[in-house]
Chain A
Amino acid sequence: MPDQISPADVKKMAELARLGLSSQELKQATKDLQSIFEHFAIIQQIDTDGVPTTDDITGLKNVVRTDQAQPEVLSQTDELLEAMPETKDRQLKVKKIFE
Chain B
Amino acid sequence: MSKPQSIIEARAALESGALTPASLVKQTLENIDQWEESLNAFIETLPEEAQAQAAATSQPGRLAGIPIAIKDIICTVEGHTTAGSKILQNFQALFDATVVKRLKREGAIIIGKTNCDEFAMGASNEYSAYGPVKNPWDLSRVPGGSSGGSAAAVASGEVLAALGSDTGGSIRLPASFCGVVGLKPTYGRVSRFGVIAYASSFDQVGPITRTVKDAALLLEILAGQDDFDATTSAEPVDSYVNECGRDIKGLTIGLPQEYFGEEVHHEVVATVSKAIKQLEALGAKTKKISLPLMSAAVPTYYLLVKAEASSNLARYDGLRFGQVDVPSKKLLEQYLQTRGKYFGPEVKRSILMGTYVLSAGYGEAWYKQASRVRTLIRREFQAALKDVDIIAGPVAAEVAFPLGSKAADPLQMYLADLLTGPASVAGLPAMSVPCGFTNGLPVGLQLIAPHFQEELLFRVGHAYEQATDWHQQRPKLPSAENK
Q: Which residues of A contact B (CB under 8 A)?
A: 1-2, 5, 9-10, 13-14, 16-22, 25, 28-29, 32-33, 35-36, 39-40, 42-44, 46, 48, 51-55, 57-60, 63, 65, 74-75, 79-80, 83, 85, 92, 94-97
> B359 an interface residue at 8 Å Cβ cutoff?
yes
- Whether A5 contacts B356 in the complex (CB less than 8 A), given A19-B340, A29-B348, A53-B368, comes out as yes
Most buried by B among A55, A57, A75, A96: A57
- Whether A17 contacts B351 in the complex (CB less than 8 A), given A63-B230, A83-B92, comes out as yes
Q: What is the CA–CA distance of A28 and B349 in the complex, to the nearest angstrom?
A: 10
Count, chain B residues at interface, CB 8 A: 65
> Which of B7-15, B24-32, B283-291, B324-332 lies on the face that meets chain A?
B324-332
> Which of B166-174, B252-260, B372-380, B470-478 lies on the face that meets chain A?
B372-380
- Residue contact A33 to B372, C-beta cutoff 8 Å: no
- Residue contact A43 to B369, C-beta cutoff 8 Å: yes
Q: What is the CA–CA distance of A36 and B233 in the complex, to the nearest angstrom?
A: 35
Q: What is the CA–CA distance of A32 and B201 in the complex, to the nearest angstrom?
A: 25
- Residue contact B426 to A35, C-beta cutoff 8 Å: no
Residues in A whose Cβ lies below 8 Å from that of B233: 58, 60
Residues in B whose Cβ lies below 8 Å from that of A14: 352
- Residue contact A19 to B336, C-beta cutoff 8 Å: yes
- Residue contact B296 to A42, C-beta cutoff 8 Å: yes
Residues in A whose Cβ lies below 8 Å from that of B300: 43
Interface SS of chain B: helix
Q: What is the CA–CA distance of A60 and B356 in the complex, to the nearest angstrom?
A: 29
Residue of A43, A53, A60, A85 near B319 (CB, 8 A) is A85
Residues in B whose Cβ lies below 8 Å from that of A54: 201, 371-372, 374-375, 378
> B299 an interface residue at 8 Å Cβ cutoff?
yes
Residue of A22, A36, A63 near B411 (CB, 8 A) is A36
- Residue contact A75 to B95, C-beta cutoff 8 Å: yes
Q: What is the CA–CA distance of A10 and B293 in the complex, to the nearest angstrom?
A: 30
Residues in A whose Cβ lies below 8 Å from that of B188: 57-58, 60
> B410 an interface residue at 8 Å Cβ cutoff?
yes
- Residue contact A39 to B411, C-beta cutoff 8 Å: yes
Residue of B201, B330, B352, B376 near A10 (CB, 8 A) is B352
When C-beta atoms are compared, the residue in chain B nearest to A26 turns out to be B352
- Residue contact A2 to B366, C-beta cutoff 8 Å: yes
Q: What is the CA–CA distance of A34 and B260 in the complex, to the nearest angstrom?
A: 30
- Whether A48 contacts B410 in the complex (CB less than 8 A), given A14-B352, A17-B355, comes out as no
Residues in B whose Cβ lies below 8 Å from that of A58: 186-188, 233, 427, 451-452
> B227 an interface residue at 8 Å Cβ cutoff?
yes
- Residue contact B336 to A18, C-beta cutoff 8 Å: yes
- Whether A43 contacts B230 in the complex (CB less than 8 A), given A13-B355, A53-B372, A54-B371, comes out as no
- Whether A43 contacts B187 in the complex (CB less than 8 A), given A17-B351, A83-B92, A94-B331, comes out as no
Residues in B whose Cβ lies below 8 Å from that of A5: 356
- Whether A79 contacts B94 in the complex (CB less than 8 A), given A33-B353, A85-B319, comes out as yes
